[in-house]
Amino acid sequence: MTSTELLLQQLINAVSIGSLYALMAIGLAMVFGILRLINFAHGDLIMVGSYVTLLLMLLGLPFLLAAAAGVVASTIAGLIMERVAYRPLRGAHEIAMLLTSFSVTIFLENLAIILFRPTSRAFPAPAVLRSVIEIGQLRVAGLDLIAIIVAAVLLLGLTLFVRRTNVGIAMRAASQDLLAARLMGINVNKVIATAFAIGSFLAGVVGLLWSARVGKIDPLMGFNPVLKAFVASVIGGLGSLPGAVIGAYVLGGLEILLQGLLPSALTPYRDAFVFAILIALLLFRPNGILGSTEREKI
């Protein structure tokens, strides 16, 4: 393998993992932009979708049908979450909302432990997702390509939705100023539910790709992805959609870079370095790359 090919290989890895982070981070950013809520339970939507998919596959449904049902299940779970846990908290302090989302996480994870046992289960992804394409010396996992393409299509669709449709425009208005949006006759509850639905849908998709990548699922599987999506959206500037996407790809690149550059004795500490860099970054750009630097006015 020449050095260009090696570089290309790593680039594909970075973009593919970054794509997964981006789809997760968008869901977080959308909700945070409107409600100032950091929805920690966003990660558990991954788990819900993956378990529903696995269950239906075990019942004999073909993968595509089961996967579609899994994504729908994630979306419904997200909507229920919003209605039951977060709507009663409108206008509450952001810490109160963050803590509520922790409770939702604890609730869902323990429910999954009761229903499905705490041990992990194999996730039998179809052969297409496990294939490896060889281009010259380059070996590209089919899953990586699919992740990149799916993310690109979804991000494009989302951009069009947010810019062109009425609901999308209402959503951006609500994230700029919730009160003013309400005064303009925007049905804020509908907008928020839409944001949750879109975010949860994306989380369901990530769940499928993530489970196929890892090959097994367990009740706590949402923890790491949501943590990474947090980092991504904080790097980009909490609440900014383009920021979340940029942050996600920066994070993907950073992880692959650290994996390559760290001496082998230090590679297990990769995540510690990632978070240390995050904290350092916040010191210089406390509101992320694209976050507003505006200070509170008196």
Partner 1 sequence: MAMSTRLQRLIPPAVMIAALAAILGATDLVAGDYLQRIVIIIGINVILVASLNLSNGFTGVFSLGHVGFMAIGAYAASILTLPVHLKAVNLPDLPGWLQGVAMPFLPATLIAGLIAMLVAFAVGLSLMRLNGAYISVATLGFLVIVQVVLVNWDQFTRGARTFAGVPAYATIWNVWIWAALTVYVVWRIGASAFGRDMRAARDNEIAALSLGVSVIRSRLLAFCMSAFLTGVAGSLWAHFITSFSPKSFFFTQAFSIITMLVIGGLGSVSGSVIGVFLITVLSELLRNAERGFDIGALHLPPIYGASQILMAVLFVLVIVFKPAGLMGGREIDIRGILRRIGASRRGKGAA
The residues binding partner 1 (CB under 8 A) are: 36, 38, 85, 88-89, 92-96, 98-100, 102-104, 106-107, 110-111, 113-114, 223, 227, 230-231, 234, 238, 268-269, 271-272, 275-276, 278-280, 282-283, 286-287, 296, 298
Q: Looking at this protein, which amino acid is placed at residue 55?
A: L
* Shortest distance, position 287 Cβ to partner 1, whole Å: 8
**Residue 134: enclosing H or E segment and its boundaries?**
strand 132-135
> What does the alpha-carbon distance between residue 82 and residue 194 come to, in Å, rounded to a whole number?
10
Dig out the tokens for 22 from the structure.
């981006």
Q: Quick check: 26 and 239 in contact, CB under 8 A?
A: no
CA distances to 80, 193, 219 from 76, rounded to whole Å, are 6, 11, 18
* Shortest distance, position 104 Cβ to partner 1, whole Å: 7
> What does the alpha-carbon distance between residue 226 and residue 273 come to, in Å, rounded to a whole number?
18
Comparing CB distances to partner 1, the nearer of 38 and 212 is: 38
Q: How many CB atoms lie within 10 A of CB 95?
A: 9
Comparing CB distances to partner 1, the nearer of 260 and 286 is: 286
* Shortest distance, position 283 Cβ to partner 1, whole Å: 4
Comparing CB distances to partner 1, the nearer of 36 and 121 is: 36
Q: Quick check: 31 and 200 in contact, CB under 8 A?
A: no
* Shortest distance, position 295 Cβ to partner 1, whole Å: 9
* Shortest distance, position 25 Cβ to partner 1, whole Å: 13
Which residue is associated with the tokens 């240390």? 276
Comparing CB distances to partner 1, the nearer of 67 and 81 is: 81
* Shortest distance, position 14 Cβ to partner 1, whole Å: 21
List the one residue out of 213, 188, 165 whose CA is nearest residue 35: 188
Comparing CB distances to partner 1, the nearer of 1 and 269 is: 269
Comparing CB distances to partner 1, the nearer of 193 and 281 is: 281
Residues 6+ apart with CB under 8 A from 214: 123, 221
Comparing CB distances to partner 1, the nearer of 9 and 287 is: 287
* Shortest distance, position 221 Cβ to partner 1, whole Å: 14
Comparing CB distances to partner 1, the nearer of 113 and 289 is: 113
Dig out the tokens for 273 from the structure.
């370095």
Counting beta carbons within 10 angstroms of the beta carbon of residue 55, is it exposed (0 to 12), middle (13 to 18) or buried (19 or more)?
Answer: middle
For residues 184-205, b (16+ Cβ closer than 10 Å) or e, as one string? Answer: eebebeebbbbbbbbbbbbbbb
* Shortest distance, position 289 Cβ to partner 1, whole Å: 14
